[in-house]
Structure 1
Amino acid sequence: MANINTLDPGASPLDYYGFELRRCREAAGLTQRQLGDIVNYTGSLVGQVETARKVPTPEFSERVDAALGTGGLLSRLVELVLRSQLPAWFREVAELEARATKICTFQMGMIHGLLQTPTYARATLGTIDETGIEDRTAARLVRQRIFQKSTPPSFWGVFSEAALYQEIGRGGTMREQLAHLLSYERDPRINIQILPFSAGEHAGLTGSFTLFNFASDPTIVYTEGYGSAHPTANPETVADCSLRYDHLQAAALSIRDSADLIRGVMEDRYGEQLA
C-alpha cells in the first residue's frame, strides 16, 4: 500500500495524479473530508485516490478541478491514468487511436470499443473476469475522448449485421447501444455502415481489422488475438487490408440504409427491453 508521505510521483501516472491531487488540495487549505463534501464524494475516496489505491474517474477529476480551480489539470491527467490501466498489450493501440487522422475498421461480431456505451463495454469486459471491472470499463471509455479533440479523427466503421443481433448484456443494453450508434447518424466524422447477411461471402471473412491513417506516418493495420495486439506497417499487409476494406465498404449498405437497418433491429428485436 502506498504511503502518502513517500508517494513517488514518478512511479506511475496513477501515483503522479495522487501526488498532484494532494498538492492542489493542500494548497487550497482543505482536508480530504472537506474536499469530498464539496465534490460529493467521501473523504475516504479522496484519500484512496491520493495514495494511488483508487483509480479516479473523469467525473471525479472534473469536479475536483472545478472545486480547486486547477485549470483542468486533473482532467488532463486522468486520461493518462486510465490509459495506463489498459492491458499492456493494448496500450500501443490506444496511442495509435490518439494520433490517427482517420480510422477505418471492420468488425465481425461486436461494436468497436470507440463507439461502445458504458453498459455494453462493461458486459464485454466482464465476460470471464469481473475483477476491477469499473476501472477497466473507464479505461476503455476514455479512449472515446479522441472525438472531443479540436481536430478529431474521422471514423469509418463497417460492422457485420451479426453485431446487431449478438445480444450483449442484460435489460436494455443492446437497445441503448443501437440507439447510441444512431446518435451519430448526422455526424460527418463518424460513419457507420452495416454489412448485411445478404452480402454472402465477403472480403472480411478472415476476421476483424482496423486501419490507422496518419498525417505523415505510414498507415498501420491492427488485428487482435486473445490477449495480444498485432499492429503492422508492412506495405503488403496494408495494401491487402486496404483493398479488403474498399470491397467491404462497397458490399455494405449505405450510411442511410444502415441507419434504417439499425433502427429496425432496435425496434423489432430489442423494442421490449427495459433498462
Structure 2
Amino acid sequence: MANIQSLDPSASPLDYYGWELRRQREAHGLKQHQLGEIIFCTGSLIGQIETTKKIPTRDFSERVDAALGTDGVFSRLMGLVLRSQLPTWFQPYADMEARAAYISTFQAQLVYGLLQTEGYARALVGVDHPNRVDEMTAARLDRQRVLGRENPPALWIVLSEAALLQEVGGRDVMHEQLARLLAFRNDPWVQIQVLPFTVGQHTAMMGSFNLLRFDDDPDLFYVESYDQSHMTANPSVIKERSVGYARLQATALSPEDSATLIARVMEERYGDQS
C-alpha cells in the first residue's frame, strides 16, 4: 500500500498530484475530511487520491482549485495525470493526435477512440485491464477533448462494417455507441464512412491505420499491434498510405448512406426487440 510520506513527486504525474494535494491541504490547515466537506466528497476519497489509489477527475480538480485558491494548478495537472494512464507505447501517438490538424483513420474492427462512448470504452478496457478500468477509460475519454476545442482537428473515419456488427459491451452499449456516431452527422469537422463487406478485398486488408497531418510538421503514419506501435514520417510510406486511404474513401459508402446503414443496424440489431 502506498504511503504518502514515501511518495516521490517526480515518479509520475499521479504521484506529483497526490503529493501536491496533501501539501496544499496541510498548508491550509485542513484535515482530509474537512477538505472533503468543502468540495462535497468524503475524506476517504481525498486520502485515496493523495496516496494514488484513486485517479482524480477534472471536476474534482476544479473544486480543489476553487477551495484552495491554487489558480488552476490541479486542473492543469489533470491532462498529464490522465495521459500517464495510457499504455506507455501509446502515449507518443496520443501526444501527436492532440496536436494534429487533420486525422484520417481506417478502423477494421472497433470504433475509433475519439468517438467511443464511456460504456463502449469500459467494455474494451475491461478485457485486458479489469483492475484499471476506471483510470484507463478516463484517459481514453479525455482524448476526446480535442473535438471540443475552438479549432478542432478535421476527423475523417472509414469504419469497416465489422465494427458495427461486433457486439462490444452488450446490445444497450452498442445502441448507445451507434447513436453517438449518428450524432456527428451534421458536424462540419467529422466525417464517417462505412466500408461494407460487399466491397470484397481492399487496400487496408492488413488492418487499421491512422494518418495525421499538422500545420507546421511532416505528416505521420501510425499503426499498432497488441503491445507496441509504429509511427513514421517516411515520405514513401505517407504517399502509399495516403493513396490507399483515398481509395478506401472512394470505395466506402457516402457519409449519408453510411448514416443510413448505421441507423438500420442500430435499430435492427441493437434496438428494442420486445
- TM category (shorter chain) comes to over 0.9
Q: In structure 1, give the amino acid aligned to 2:47.
A: G
Q: In structure 2, give the amino acid aligned to 1:190.
A: V
Listed as ranges, the matches of 1:138-149 within 5 Å are 138-149=138-149
Partner of 2:167: 167
Distance (whole Å) between structure 2 residues aligned to residue 7 and residue 128 of structure 1: 28
Structure 2 residue matching 1:105: 3-state secondary structure: strand
Partner of 1:60: 60
Distance (whole Å) between structure 2 residues aligned to residue 22 and residue 175 of structure 1: 42
Structure 2 residue matching 1:155: 3-state secondary structure: strand
**Deviation at residue 58 of structure 1 after TM alignment:** 2.5
Listed as ranges, the matches of 1:110-125 within 5 Å are 110-125=110-125
Structure 2 residue matching 1:192: 3-state secondary structure: strand
Is the Cα–Cα contact under 8 Å of residues 171 and 270 in structure 2 kept in the other structure? no
Structure 2 residue matching 1:65: 3-state secondary structure: helix
Structure 2 residue matching 1:156: 3-state secondary structure: strand
Please state if 1:219 is matched with 2:219.
Answer: yes
Structure 1 residue matching 2:259: 3-state secondary structure: helix
- What are the Cα deviations for residues 250-270 of structure 1, in whole angstroms up to 9, with x where unaligned? 111222221121111111111
Structure 1 residue matching 2:158: 3-state secondary structure: strand
Going from structure 1 to structure 2, the CA distance change for 1:213 and 1:197 (only over 3 Å counts) comes to same
Distance (whole Å) between structure 1 residues aligned to residue 151 and residue 260 of structure 2: 29
Is the Cα–Cα contact under 8 Å of residues 103 and 212 in structure 1 kept in the other structure? yes
- What are the Cα deviations for residues 53-87 of structure 1, in whole angstroms up to 9, with x where unaligned? 32212232233334434443322211111111111
Partner of 1:267: 267
Q: In structure 2, give the amino acid aligned to 1:162.
A: A
Identity over aligned pairs, percent: 57
Structure 2 residue matching 1:56: 3-state secondary structure: coil
TM-score (norm 2): 0.93
Distance (whole Å) between structure 1 residues aligned to residue 273 and residue 82 of structure 2: 31
Is the Cα–Cα contact under 8 Å of residues 171 and 273 in structure 1 kept in the other structure? no
- What are the Cα deviations for residues 220-246 of structure 1, in whole angstroms up to 9, with x where unaligned? 111111111111111111111101100
Structure 2 residue matching 1:127: 3-state secondary structure: helix
Structure 1: any 5+ residue segments left out of the alignment? none
Distance (whole Å) between structure 2 residues aligned to residue 27 and residue 188 of structure 1: 48
Q: Which runs of 4+ in 1 moved over 6 A?
A: none
Is the Cα–Cα contact under 8 Å of residues 122 and 137 in structure 1 kept in the other structure? yes
Going from structure 1 to structure 2, the CA distance change for 1:28 and 1:225 (only over 3 Å counts) comes to same
Structure 2: any 5+ residue segments left out of the alignment? none
Distance (whole Å) between structure 1 residues aligned to residue 56 and residue 99 of structure 2: 24
